[in-house]
């Protein structure tokens, strides 16, 4: 059993830590410049050009551009080159690296080993192993799909995401980013749907471009840059906080006297120990070709952020998973635990993952066009306005499913608390664009509208800065930020694939419908320009309810949003029930992004996961109360009572008696709240319908947890420090 002594020793250990020295990796000439080592552990285009015969390389580029599949001959060439490169770099094993529906990544390692005719060992990597591999997948969640359709699954290389070498003390492994499917083609992973969503969105955008007479454009893709927030806690506290280790969050703990009221941590100087951690994981990520760009302190003490340069969605999704994995490993070397949970500490800002999202089309000249880049003047740019209108339509129509895509037990603590965007998904445009859409909606827009809205800096030699929407509204869940959107409601622990898939599919539908509306107007005799304007006006009017520039945290907004008919899916089971309804997820099926079975599998996996998360949390909470809090408080209460009795026996006043009564009463409350939680858990666990059970977990179990925690936290503030066994918030968050 842990005691206050253990806690104090942990504080001393954490406080005395030295900064870990780290020598950045260098190339063969000793250069440590980022560019000298960037991507050297990936088998990217650069390496492929070096290692593949020129004709094969050209063929591969063509396949990447057209989204075709890899044929056996080319697969053989790539497999051979990848194997040679991997072995040259010390690899002994390879693995298909994929994203099952757990939201984590999975891998199964095989040695590059076969035997020749004389039983001699040969390093071999069969091309068929590149194209597909059969993991023993029975332990990955399939939401019932494997049971229904097929017992086994297979993984196949996603050629748009480069292979990479994972170096670990146990050896080096060639990782092959893969999709994971059942033999009947059902997506058992997060990647497949994302790839399908990019494909269908590309098809619809190209169709719209054709209607607009924009010729010669190639591939369309979605680009994503996920900003990742996280907490660091010294490892010395880990063994004393099983709740943090088991659930990623503290299920109890009183707020520190100094919280984040002073906001002095935000963008403050990074401590040397933390800076060393950042530098080391960044270098590892550079070698893996993950373009890490910014680092800074976040709002809460102990909280930080990492942001990469944006990449194509499926690569960004892989890289975000990889970044979290590398950060976990490197944190260990620096004696930190890194927590990606959305709410590790109650009363302290939680962590999100802002998904910066845009679309790009290959221009006729080979470069990329950002579809949300305003032209010289926004109104002159019909492509820009059509795309921003389509986005608003996509969000208005599918806000509920978007909520479901980022729902989870951790994120429930953020959404709806006044710190993160609320569960109501609305769109923030910023004043310029908002004005344009309001005027379009009223039919009062002017030619060249907003042509010269720039901020006059009043300094002659500085160029004018075009005013865009960088007057940020931090409270909005979905904000236009100049030439991209920022979806801020995603949780820090979540895989980004699913929300981006939903976003892409919703966008594909909006673009498809607007294209059809433009074509209908043209068929009725309108010119392209007139048809576009008419559709823009009608979409602007239709989407007015989803636009909101005010304070998303306010009570008034909640009421107004209800009047506007926007969904407010507060808790995970609400969002998942919404997602499960056929009329709400039909667009995903129609777009060919998920089959009905795949949608329902995702619902089941998420509902199950939600129930399991809270079950682990309640078990952990009950154990902490029973084995740590109750004994500590009882000892302290005993001391107080002894002092009172001793004073009484000596015929003196006992100033401790009020405190003894207070602690005694709180201890009684603690037992009551503890039993109430245990009772409600027992009652809920007999619920056979999964969705009904999840709802009861959300609306009966979690309030009972909160009630128990409140009493425990009250007792933490009353109990003698010499008795309290659990590291306090002030210790975990401020000792560095
Ligand atoms: P800001 O300061 O406006 O947040 P940054 O340039 O710092 O802008 O970008 C924040 C994140 O948005 C980064 O991860 C960045 O790579 C990403 N981002 C920028 N442009 C795009 C884009 N066109 N598509 C997707 N993500 C983008
Ligand atoms: Mg940002």
Q: Are residues 76 and 206 in the same domain?
A: no
Cα of 310 from ligand 1 centre, angstroms: 6
Q: What domain range includes position 466?
A: 190-212+371-594
pLDDT at 260: 56
Nearest CA to ligand 1 atom 19: 310
* Amino acid 164: pLDDT: 95
Give me the pLDDT at residue 152, please: 67
Judgement on whether residues 143 and 155 belong to the same structural domain of the protein: yes
Are 315 and 222 in contact by the 8 Å Cβ rule? The answer is: no
Q: CA 732, CA 730: separation in Å to the nearest integer?
A: 6
Which range has the top average pLDDT, 124-128, 352-356, 443-447?
A: 352-356
Distance 647 CA to ligand 1 centre (A): 68
Domain-embedded: residue 184: yes
Number of domains in the chain: 2
Same domain membership, residue 582 and residue 451? yes
105 and 208 housed in the same domain: no
**Residues 118-141: pLDDT tens digits?**
878 777 777 777 777 666 555 666
- Please tell me the distance between residue 107's alpha carbon and the centre of ligand 2 in angstroms: 32
Domain assignment present for residue 488? The answer is yes
Q: Note whether 132 and 197 are same-domain residues.
A: no
Query: What is the share, in percent, of the chain residues with pLDDT greater than 70?
Result: 90
Could you tell me if residue 723 is inside a domain? Answer: no
30 domain residue, yes or no: no
To test ligand 1's pocket by mutation, which of 353, 356, 499 has the most ligand atoms within 8 angstroms of CB? 356
Q: Are residues 121 and 204 in the same domain?
A: no
What pLDDT does residue 135 have? 62
- Asked, for residue 489, whether it belongs to a domain, the answer is yes
What CATH number is associated with residue 169? 3.10.20.70
- The last residue of one of the domains, among 544, 562, 594, is 594
Span of 27-31, 287-291, 389-393, 494-498 with lowest mean pLDDT: 27-31
Is 184 in the same domain as 194?
Answer: no
In a shared domain, residues 94 and 149? yes
Which of 221, 310, 471 has most ligand 1 atoms within 8 Å of CB, for mutation?
Answer: 310
Query: Which ligand is closest in space to the CA of residue 225?
Result: 1
Concatenated DSSP letters of 75-91 = HHHHHHHHHHHHHHTTE
DSSP string for residues in 327-388: HHHHHHHTTEEEE--S-SSTTS---BEEEEEEEEEE-TTSSEEETT---SSGGG-HHHHHHH
Instruction: Clarify whether residues 430 and 554 are in a common domain.
Output: yes
Clarify whether residues 388 and 511 are in a common domain.
Answer: yes
131 and 203, same domain (yes or no) = no
- Of ligand 1's listed atoms, the one at least distance from the Cα of 470 is 3
435 and 554 together in one domain: yes
Is residue 299 one of the residues assigned to a domain? no
> What DSSP assignment string belongs to 711-732?
HHHHHHHHS-TTT--SPPHHHH
Last residue of a domain, one of 578, 594, 610: 594
- Distance (angstroms) between ligand 1 centre and the Cα of 309 equals 7
Domain boundary among 594, 622, 647: 594
Taking CB atoms and a 6 Å cutoff, what residues make up the pocket around ligand 1?
A: 223-225, 227, 307-310, 356-358, 370, 481, 483-484
Mean residue pLDDT of the chain comes to 88
**Cα distance between the two ends of the chain:** 25
Confidence at 461, pLDDT banded by 50, 70, 90: very low
* Residue 354 within any structural domain of the chain: no
Which ligand is nearest to the Cα of residue 483, counting in written order? 1
Q: What is the pTM of this model?
A: 0.93
Atom of ligand 1 lying closest to residue 356 CA: 26
In the numeric block, which tokens belong to residue 239?
């063994």
Please give the distance, rounded to the nearest whole angstrom, from the Cα atom of residue 225 to the centre of ligand 1. Answer: 6
Instruction: Find the mean pLDDT for residues 241-259.
Output: 90
Considering every ligand atom shown, identify the ligand nearest to the alpha carbon of residue 294 and give its number: 1
Residue 252 lies in a domain: no
Residue 709 has a pLDDT of 98
The rounded percent of the chain whose pLDDT value lies above 90 is: 66
With 70 as the cut, is the pLDDT of residue 424 above it? yes
123 and 90 in contact (C-beta within 8 Å)? no
Ligand approaching nearest to the C-alpha of 311: 1
- What is the distance in A from the centroid of ligand 2 to the CA of 307? 9
Q: What is the pLDDT of residues 612-621, one digit of tens each?
A: 999 999 999 9
> pLDDT per residue over 149-181, tens digit each?
445 677 888 888 999 999 888 889 999 998 888
Residue 329 CA to residue 423 CA, distance in Å, equals 33
Gap from CA of 470 to ligand 2 centroid (Å): 10
């Amino acid at each position: 059993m842990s005691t206050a002594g253990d806690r104090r020793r942990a504080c001393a250990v954490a406080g005395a830590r030295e900064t870990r020295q780290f020598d950045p990796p260098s190339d063969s000439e000793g250069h440590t410049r980022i560019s000298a080592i960037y991507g050297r552990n990936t088998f990217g285009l650069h390496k492929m050009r070096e290692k593949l015969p020129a004709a094969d390389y050209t063929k591969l580029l063509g396949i990447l551009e057209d989204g075709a599949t890899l044929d056996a001959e080319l697969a053989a060439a790539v497999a051979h080159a990848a194997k040679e490169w991997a072995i040259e770099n010390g690899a002994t094993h390879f693995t298909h690296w994929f994203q099952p529906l757990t939201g984590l990544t999975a891998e199964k390692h095989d040695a590059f080993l076969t035997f020749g005719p004389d039983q001699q060992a040969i390093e071999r990597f069969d091309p068929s192993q590149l194209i597909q591999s059969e993991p023993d997948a029975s332990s990955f969640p399939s939401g019932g799909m494997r049971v229904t359709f097929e017992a086994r699954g297979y993984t196949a290389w996603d050629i748009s995401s480069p292979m990479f070498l994972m170096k670990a003390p146990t050896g080096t492994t060639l990782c092959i980013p893969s999709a994971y499917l059942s033999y009947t083609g059902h997506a058992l992973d997060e990647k497949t749907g994302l790839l399908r969503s990019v494909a269908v969105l590309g098809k619809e955008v190209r169709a719209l471009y054709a209607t607009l007479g924009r010729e010669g454009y190639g591939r369309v893709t979605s680009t994503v840059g996920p900003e990742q927030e996280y907490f660091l806690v010294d490892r010395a506290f880990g063994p004393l906080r099983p709740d943090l280790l088991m659930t990623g969050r503290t299920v109890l703990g009183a707020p520190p006297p100094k919280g984040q009221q002073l906001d002095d941590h935000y963008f403050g100087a990074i401590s040397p120990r933390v800076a060393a951690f950042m530098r080391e994981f960044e270098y590892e990520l550079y070698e893996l070709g993950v373009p890490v760009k910014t680092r800074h302190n976040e709002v809460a003490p102990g909280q930080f952020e990492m942001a990469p340069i944006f990449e194509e969605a499926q690569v960004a999704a892989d890289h975000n998973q990889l970044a979290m994995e590398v950060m976990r490993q490197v944190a260990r070397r620096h004696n930190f635990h890194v927590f990606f949970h959305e709410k590790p500490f109650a009363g302290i800002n939680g962590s999100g993952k802002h998904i910066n999202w845009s679309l790009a089309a290959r221009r006729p000249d080979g470069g990329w066009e950002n579809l949300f880049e305003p032209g010289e003047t926004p109104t002159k740019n019909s492509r820009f306005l059509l795309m921003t209108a389509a986005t608003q339509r996509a969000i208005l129509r599918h806000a509920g499913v978007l909520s479901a895509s980022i729902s989870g037990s951790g994120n429930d603590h953020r959404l709806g608390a006044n710190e993160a965007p609320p569960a109501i998904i609305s769109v923030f445009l910023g004043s310029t664009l908002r004005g344009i859409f309001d005027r379009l909606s009223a039919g009062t827009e002017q030619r060249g509208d907003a042509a010269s809205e720039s901020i006059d800096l009043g300094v002659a030699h500085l160029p004018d800065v075009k005013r865009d929407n960088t007057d940020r509204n931090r409270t909005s869940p979905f904000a236009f930020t100049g030439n991209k959107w920022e979806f801020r409601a995603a949780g820090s622990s979540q895989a980004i694939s699913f929300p981006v898939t939903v976003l892409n599919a919703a966008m594909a539908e909006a673009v498809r419908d607007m294209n059809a509306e433009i074509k209908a107007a043209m068929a009725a005799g309108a010119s392209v320009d007139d048809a576009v304007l008419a559709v823009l006006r009608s979409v602007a009017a239709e989407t007015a309810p989803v636009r909101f520039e005010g304070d998303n945290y306010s009570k008034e907004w909640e009421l107004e949003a209800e009047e506007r008919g926007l969904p407010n899916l507060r808790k995970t089971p609400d969002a998942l029930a919404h997602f499960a309804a056929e009329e709400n997820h039909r667009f995903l099926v129609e777009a060919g992004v998920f089959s009905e079975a795949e949608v329902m599998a995702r619902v089941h996996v998420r509902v199950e996961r939600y129930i399991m998360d809270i079950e682990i949390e309640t078990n952990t909470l009950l154990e902490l109360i029973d084995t740590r809090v109750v004994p500590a408080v009882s000892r302290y209460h005993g001391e107080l009572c002894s002092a009172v009795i001793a004073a009484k026996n000596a015929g003196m006043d006992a100033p401790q008696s009020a405190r003894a009564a207070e602690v005694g009463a709180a201890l009684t409350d603690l037992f009551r709240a503890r039993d109430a939680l245990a009772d409600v858990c027992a009652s809920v666990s007999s619920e056979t319908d999964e969705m009904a059970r999840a709802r009861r977990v959300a609306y009966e179990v979690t309030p009972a947890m909160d009630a128990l925690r409140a009493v425990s936290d009250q007792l933490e503030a009353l109990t003698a420090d010499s008795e309290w066994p659990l590291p306090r918030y002030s210790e975990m968050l401020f000792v560095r």
